[in-house]
Amino acid sequence: MKVLMFGWEFPPHISGGLGTASYGLTKSLSAIEDLEILFVVPKLYGDEDEDVAKLIGAEDITVKHYKKTFKNSWEEKVKTLKGDKKSYSKIKKSEILSNLKSIEIIEVKSKLQPYLSIEEFEKFLKENNIFDKNIKIDKEGKLYYEKDGEVKEITFSKSEEETYTEDGKYKFEGGYGPNLLQEVYNYARVASIIAKENDFDLIHGHDWLANAAGIAAKEVSGKPLVIHVHATEYDRGGEERVDTRVFALEKAGMDAADKIITVSNLTKNTIIKYYGADPNKIQTVYNAVEPQEAEKNIYKKNVKEKLVTFLGRITYQKGPAYFVNAAKKVLEKTNDVRFVMAGNGDMFHEMIRYAAELGITDKFHFTDFLKGDEVTKMFSISDVYVMPSVSEPFGISPLEAMRSNVPVIISKQSGVAEVIQNAIKIDYWDEDALADAIYGLVKYNGMAKMFIQKSKKEVDEMKWDKPAREVKKIYDSLVK
């Protein structure tokens, strides 16, 4: 069976939950015996390797078509073979390689990026103008741009990384410009060409930006369509700020789909309630997390107090204000704790002012956006992780915290709360309960210890194989 997958992001450039999830799932799917994947991914700048890149259709669109073997799966294979010493001695490298599966990847030159919202896309385009003039690419495929004699690396998480541009002057008007939707439809046109030129049995698209592409591919090929809902406009904007055009695209995808995969029952209920999606088509498949050794000992904690961390975008739906209020309550009872709000977002400055107003900023710290290594470091020095989201379709970061031996407190209004047992679950609005839970984990070592042990065990068992098998079953039900 061959699946045409419209996915997002590939290592080394993964900037958030959607990329992590679609990559993790694809990787485990590709390990399943009779499954082949053709992974289509929008990419702003490829390696520009002319040998692999080719133009498709008459549209003068550059795509790059190549095969990729997952490094990790290669290592895993060797590891299992090593366990069986007899056979290991006989095996040649070429044999292992021939046993390995690779996936086909098509990179489409497109400005589409995951997690785009109104302002972010506008900003993205503005930054593109900088790119076009002064863009440079090095051997490793890293991108740099030059401005005023300074060379800076471009990372694909630009939208999260800098709320301020170089001169801090950009201001964005609200409302969608035509650009984002234009890109969505351009991408769909490319998708229909790819669908024409390739053979496959089924289409699987992740999130709304890929919906138009999925629908187009289905129309061209007549093959069944699975759409995978990681978040909805209601989670992103809240009920009052739903953009009707985005809503329309999301709904069109749900209507056209033969099956809908939601990342939690919370999301399932959301799409039934707000989009009128057919409950019979929907199935929940929870996300998982790649196992990884805790890096507790690599980084040293420099402060003697316990660290309580909020890590994520500082936006309304992540509930940052509840975290600040709970911090204030805890600090009234004990001085033996520090709070960290890591990340940025449209409520970043508001939260700084608010914490200052409450007079807790000598114990409540802001880090701004954290880059790759720093996230790992933040997890490894944290003693409690808090995710007080108002609305969180899934929420993969608590799993990452648990993996790093950090006890977590999550809101009941998150998808991840449905699937993990060893976490303290509170209502996001219940600041007293949140403060209580933080105080307990900070003060009662026995309790924290228990959570660390149990949650580590729990999360280590949550590998991507399981959701991959569930997804395969869904495929099987559609392809007969």
Among residues 368, 460, 461, 465, the one that binds other proteins under rule CB under 8 A: 368
| Residue 327 in the binding site for other proteins (CB under 8 A) | no
Q: Which is nearer to other proteins, 217 or 355 (CB)?
A: 355
Q: Considering beta carbons, is residue 18 or 307 the nearer one to other proteins? A: 307
Q: Any contact of residue 366 with other proteins (CB under 8 A)?
A: yes
User: Contacts with other proteins: how many residues (CB under 8 A)?
Assistant: 24
Nearer to other proteins, 275 or 348 (CB): 348
Residue whose tokens read 């790093």: 404
332 near other proteins, rule: CB under 8 A: no
Residues 66-105 interacting with other proteins (rule: CB under 8 A) = none
Return the range that interacts with other proteins (CB under 8 A); candidates 38-46, 95-103, 297-305, 445-453. 297-305
Q: What are phi and psi of 303, to 5 degrees?
A: -110, 150
Cβ atoms < 10 Å from Cβ of 162: 17
| CB closer to other proteins out of 312 and 395 | 312
Q: Residue 464 and residue 462: Cα distance in Å, rounded?
A: 7
Among the listed ranges 56-64, 128-136, 290-298, 352-360, the one in contact with other proteins (CB under 8 A) is 352-360
Environment class of 87 (CB within 10 Å of its CB; exposed 0-12, middle 13-18, buried 19+):
exposed
Choose the stretch contacting other proteins; rule: CB under 8 A; options: 226-234, 276-284, 345-353, 391-399.
345-353
Distance (Å, whole) CA 479 – CA 223: 9
Residue 313 C-beta: closest distance to other proteins, Å: 16
Query: Considering beta carbons, is residue 278 or 357 the nearer one to other proteins?
Result: 357
**Which residue's CB is nearer to other proteins, number 187 or number 369?**
369
336 binds other proteins (CB under 8 A): no
- Considering only 155, 283, 367, 376, the residue that binds other proteins (CB under 8 A) is 367
Asked whether position 356 contacts other proteins by CB under 8 A, the answer is yes
If one asks whether residue 296 binds other proteins (CB under 8 A), the answer comes out as: no
Is residue 164 near other proteins by the rule CB under 8 A? yes
User: Does residue number 348 form part of the binding site for other proteins (CB under 8 A)?
Assistant: yes
Ranges within 166-185 binding other proteins (CB under 8 A): 168
| Interacting residues with other proteins (CB under 8 A) | 164, 168, 300-304, 340, 348-349, 352-353, 356-357, 359, 361-363, 365-368, 374, 377
